[in-house]
Amino acid sequence: MKNFVFYNPVKIVFGVDSFFKTGEYINQIGRKHLIVIGKGSVKKNGLLERLQQILDKNNSEYFILEGVKPNPVIEKVKEGIELAQENGIDSIIAFGGGSVIDTAKAISAGFYYKNDPWDLFEKNVNIQKALPIMVILTVSATGSEFNPISVVQNDSLKHKIRFQSEKIFPKISILDPVLTTTLPANYTAFASVDIISHVVEGYFTSEDFNTPIQDGFVETIVKTVINSTYKVLNDPDNVEERANIMWAAALALSGITTSGIGKFRFENHLIEHALSAIYDIPHGAGLSIVIPAWMKVNKKRLSKKFSLFGKNVFGIEGNEEYVVDETINTLESFFDKIKSPTRLSSYNITDFEEIKKNVIECAPSRNLKIDYEYISEILEFMR
């Protein structure tokens, strides 16, 4: 195992009806909040009104920033910073999924940052201060509720990149699986692809191979997500399985599965973010197109980890070459079965040059270098 520092200060309040405990915790982040929400799901299902009742009962003040879109943009962050500064807010409630949380994180850092908040992403500025954040999660997917990462898009550059800082860890995350039962089937599927991607990216490309604890975490998370996803797609109100997915999502990108594995490469995320930035594809849907293609191109180089995964997760037996091929097929057919796309043709995308350029341009933001030939080969399998 390689040396590592693990730090995760997020207080998780987990379980059925934990949403109603918001009032017990809210004063720990502040008294005057900016509530950040998406395009309207929390209004439609009555959750925003319930939150307002909880805050009113607590005599908390609040303002609302609404309209965060999936694949969130820096303009919304700027609007949120202005609203927060004009009203002297002291804390943020991110009420939604990854897009809302990431916008809230960028506002929390941008609130104290004197210059253009896009700098935070482009230069990964070492910030000293950010507003405290409470997350009330409505989609189990990104793990943003339990990590220090924000991913935002700059539409004029068509760059979708990360900003990372210990200061933007949420202070408290309320994880109530009941809130995720209204998530439509397509986003439920995309969310599960994302969770799986967060653990396999490190597992497949790790520098160190003697990491049985991390590997075991990954294998269990993937098996759980696959089993529970089939169940919730058949029965969206299955709160027990929504809970399993919720905890899997939080753990997946919390640092637990990557601590000690040494260097690793998040190439599938790099490529997917180009798809989201250019074509506004949902993150998980883009990943189910990228991952099988990326595996096909890397199957010789990474055969040891691909076959270990196939044996331990899918129970595939045989010689290494066979196990690797069957592993890729089995994962791809899982994506097909849950109706997450596996080809760019699903979005009628046939011109790959802009995607290639974007991937090559954004690679340094993840300390990666991507060759034109390599990305071209992967895109051919995504066709």
Is the CB of 96 or the CB of 310 nearer to ligand NZQ? 96
Angle at 370 between CA 120 and CA 304, to 5 degrees: 110
- The residue at minimum Cβ distance from ligand NZQ is 38
283 touches ligand NZQ (CB under 6 A): yes
Q: Which does 258 bind (CB under 5 to 8 A by kind): ligand NZQ, Zn ion, none?
A: none
**Residue 317 Cβ vs ligand NZQ, minimum distance, rounded to whole Å:** 32
**Residue 282 Cβ vs ligand NZQ, minimum distance, rounded to whole Å:** 7
Q: Which does 100 bind (CB under 5 to 8 A by kind): Zn ion, ligand NZQ, none?
A: ligand NZQ
Using a 10 angstrom Cβ sphere, with 0-12 exposed, 13-18 middle and 19 or more buried, the burial of residue 353 is exposed
Using a 10 angstrom Cβ sphere, with 0-12 exposed, 13-18 middle and 19 or more buried, the burial of residue 54 is middle
Interacting stretch for Zn ion, rule CB under 5 A, among 105-113, 189-197, 199-207, 371-379?
189-197
Give the per-residue contact string, 321-360, with ligand NZQ (x = CB under 6 A; - = no). ----------------------------------------
Q: In the set 30, 70, 117, 341, which binds ligand NZQ (CB under 6 A)?
A: 70
271 touches ligand NZQ (CB under 6 A): no
Is the CB of 77 or the CB of 253 nearer to ligand NZQ? 253
325 touches Zn ion (CB under 5 A): no
Give the per-residue contact string, 229-258, with ligand NZQ (x = CB under 6 A; - = no). ------------------------x-----
**Residue 283 Cβ vs Zn ion, minimum distance, rounded to whole Å:** 6
Please count the residues of this chain forming the interface with Zn ion, following the rule CB under 5 A.
Answer: 1
Q: In the set 145, 194, 201, 325, which binds Zn ion (CB under 5 A)?
A: 194
Q: Which residues bind ligand NZQ (CB under 6 A)?
A: 38-42, 70-72, 96-100, 102, 138-139, 141-144, 147, 149-151, 179-180, 182-183, 187, 191, 194, 253, 269, 276, 283
Q: Which residues bind Zn ion (CB under 5 A)?
A: 194
